[in-house]
């Protein structure tokens, strides 16, 4: 009987404790990141699209893939809020555009990926789809 009493509290503590935290990491540079870097830079080159997404007027050299874990974690939180009820992404492509950001959603359940733009305070400023 004592054996059961010790096992039950241990099992209860393990099963009711918080699950593993889901952290969102930035993807490293690869062919996909190069493709979306080019798309983001093309968006900046089109004045109408840049203004529609409320992006800063910066040179293409001011667009870069992010590797800061804090920025990727924030992007992950916002993307999870965009898709309630779905598991959060564990890795994202995040670009800094001057003081603004672009986050690539590769899990849209379609033949396209979502590009979500955010202002410096992480307020959504627009989105588009790309293949």
What does the pLDDT look like over 83-95, one tens digit per residue?
A: 777 777 767 899 9
- Closest CA relative to residue 67, chosen from 38, 40, 27: 27
> Is residue 9 predicted with pLDDT exceeding 50?
no
Q: Is the dihedral of CA 81, 82, 85, 89 positive or negative?
A: negative
The answer to whether residue 80 is domain-embedded is yes
Unique residue bearing structure tokens 């800063």: 56
The answer to whether residue 14 is domain-embedded is no
pLDDT for residue 111: 76
The answer to whether residue 13 is domain-embedded is no
The model's pTM is 0.78
Confidence of residue 15 (pLDDT cuts 50, 70, 90): very low
Domain of 54?
A: 22-130
pLDDT for residue 26: 85
The answer to whether residue 35 is domain-embedded is yes
The answer to whether residue 12 is domain-embedded is no
The Cα 108–Cα 8 span in angstroms is 42
The answer to whether residue 7 is domain-embedded is no
Phi-psi category of residue 85: left, alpha or beta, with phi > 0 → left and psi -120 to 50 → alpha? left
> Is residue 7 predicted with pLDDT exceeding 80?
no
The answer to whether residue 56 is domain-embedded is yes
Count the domains in the chain: 1
Of the listed ranges 8-17, 37-46, 111-120, the one predicted with least confidence = 8-17
């Amino acid at each position: 009987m004592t054996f059961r009493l010790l096992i039950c509290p241990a099992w209860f503590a393990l099963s009711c404790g918080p699950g593993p935290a889901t952290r969102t990491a930035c993807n490293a540079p690869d062919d996909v990141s190069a493709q979306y870097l080019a798309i983001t830079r093309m968006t900046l080159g089109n004045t109408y699209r840049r203004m529609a997404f409320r992006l800063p007027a910066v040179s293409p050299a001011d667009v870069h893939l992010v590797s800061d874990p804090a920025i990727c974690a924030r992007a992950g939180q916002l993307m999870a809020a965009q898709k309630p009820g779905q598991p959060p992404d564990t890795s994202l492509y995040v670009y800094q555009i001057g003081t603004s950001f672009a986050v690539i959603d590769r899990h849209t359940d379609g033949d396209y990926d979502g590009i979500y733009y955010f202002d410096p305070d992480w307020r959504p400023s627009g989105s588009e789809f790309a293949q």
